A and B are shown apart, each in its own frame.
Chain A
Amino acid sequence: MHEMSIAQSLVAIIKEEMEKHGLTRLHAVRVCHGRLAALVPDALAFAFEACTLGTPMQGVRLELAEIPIVLRCSQCAQEFSPEQGDLFMPCPACGEGLGHEVLQGKELYLDNIEAE
């Protein structure tokens, strides 16, 4: 359950961004998370709700977008996305199974906020 820490950090960043842009009313928040980051969307939604309860952020819409994993084959450099549930599939081009580089899928960032 590291979602509570993530929610707390998220709230702090949102506050900074609101101040920076002189915004006072927050409507929605969009978070992108790579599949390797192992974020549990329901747990983050719950934690975010708990962190914002009784604050001006209460009830804000939290959108979560999962970023798929993209690997680069260690042998032939082919880029590919493993199927859901089969993270360790060999390279579809050459069959190599080991040492693929993770190009995408570890991300965890606040993408944008909708506010006025």
Chain B
Amino acid sequence: MEVPVVRNILEANDRISAQLRKLFAERKVLVLNLISSPGSGKTSTLERTLTDLAPEFKMAVIEGDLRTDNDARRVAATGAQAVQINTDGACHLDSSMVQVALESIDIDGLDILFVENVGNLVCPAEFEVGEDYKVSLLSVTEGDDKPEKYPLLFAESAVMLLNKTDLLPYVDFDMARAERFARALNKDIAVFPVSCKTREGMGAWYDWLRARVREKKAA
């Protein structure tokens, strides 16, 4: 016989994600799920952000995408707490991994928790990890059609960081085109062209973060 079920296949992940979200709401920690393809400069952008905002916020990082120990040292050098998740080759982080990683983080007085997801634009978009917002990061060396190819991620992201803008004169990347695709299913996505190398544009991203921290504290 045929038995109707109609159950969300990712319900187990969503359940833990909801528990995490509740915890983060109680503790007033802003949580951002950082998603990008490999080589987009996610670790450098994060390192720059952690360094520049260190005087203002207490921050921590859950790292799912470290390619080298060097990356870990760079993040740790900013003074932020950092915990690495062993993803065992998985293509995305899930909420149970983040739950385990949290045991090693002191979230007392924490303002921002960054979850650096595995470098991949498809799979992480499906798995919530208790975040307030997804932040997608794209570099101008990748091609401006990425938002068109990975619509779910850009539809669900609150922010699109367009990184490595210092290389714009040398690549064929149409910022307006990338932005248009990202906005097709997400009119309100905040688009910040940045260069973590020259720091150009980073101020707008920081202002966005400051505003979200304020909202979270006030909620």
Say whether A and B bind each other. yes
What residues of chain B lie closer than 8 Å to A38, measured between beta carbons?
Answer: 122, 125-126, 150, 152
- Known A-B contacts A9-B10, A21-B3, A112-B5; the reply to A2 vs B184 at CB < 8 A is no
* Bound Cα distance from A98 to B182, whole angstroms: 9
- Known A-B contacts A37-B126, A100-B184, A113-B2; the reply to A88 vs B148 at CB < 8 A is yes
Instruction: Tell me if B219 counts as interface (CB < 8 A to partner A).
Output: no
Instruction: Tell me if B169 counts as interface (CB < 8 A to partner A).
Output: no
* Bound Cα distance from A108 to B209, whole angstroms: 32
Q: How many residues of B contact A (CB 8 A)?
A: 35
What residues of chain B lie closer than 8 Å to A100, measured between beta carbons?
Answer: 184-185
What residues of chain A lie closer than 8 Å to B6, measured between beta carbons?
Answer: 109-112
* Bound Cα distance from A112 to B6, whole angstroms: 6
B2 with A112: CB separation less than 8 A: yes
**Count: A-B pairs, CB below 8 Å:** 99
Contact residues of B: prevailing secondary structure: mixed
The proximity string for B residues 149-161 relative to A, scoring 1 for CB distances below 8 Å and 0 otherwise, is 0111001000000
B184 with A110: CB separation less than 8 A: no
Instruction: Tell me if B46 counts as interface (CB < 8 A to partner A).
Output: no
The proximity string for B residues 182-195 relative to A, scoring 1 for CB distances below 8 Å and 0 otherwise, is 01111110000000
Partner of B7, one of A1, A97, A109: A109
Instruction: Tell me if B94 counts as interface (CB < 8 A to partner A).
Output: yes
The proximity string for A residues 86-116 relative to B, scoring 1 for CB distances below 8 Å and 0 otherwise, is 0110000000011110100010111111111
Q: How many residues of A contact B (CB 8 A)?
A: 34
What residues of chain A lie closer than 8 Å to B150, measured between beta carbons?
Answer: 38
* Bound Cα distance from A5 to B180, whole angstroms: 32
* Bound Cα distance from A108 to B9, whole angstroms: 6
Instruction: Tell me if B90 counts as interface (CB < 8 A to partner A).
Output: yes
B152 with A13: CB separation less than 8 A: no
CB distance from A81 to the nearest CB of B (A): 13
Contacts from B to A (Cβ < 8 Å): 1-13, 90-92, 94, 122-123, 125-127, 148, 150-152, 155, 180-181, 183-188
Name 20 A/B residue pairs within 8 A (Cβ), A-sorted. A5-B92, A9-B9, A9-B13, A13-B7, A17-B3, A31-B9, A36-B151, A38-B150, A88-B151, A88-B184, A97-B180, A98-B180, A98-B183, A98-B187, A109-B8, A111-B5, A113-B2, A113-B3, A114-B1, A116-B1
